[in-house]
Chain A
Amino acid sequence: MENKLMVKLVVGTEAMFFLALIMAYIYFSLLPGFTSRQADHLDIRSTAIFSAFLFSSSFTFWRAETNFKKGKMTRLKGWLLLTLALGLVFLVGQGTEYARLLKENVSISSSLFGTSFFTLTGFHGLHVLVGLVVISIVTTLTFMGDYDRSSSSVFGTVGIYWHFVDIVWLFVFSIVYVLPHLHKITT
Chain B
Amino acid sequence: MKIIVNGNEVVLDKEVVVKELLDKQKVSMQQYVTVQVYDDIISRDDFEKIALKEGDSVEFLYFMGGGAQ
Co-assembled chains A and B? no
Chain B interface (Cβ within 8 Å of chain A)? none
Chain A interface (Cβ within 8 Å of chain B)? none
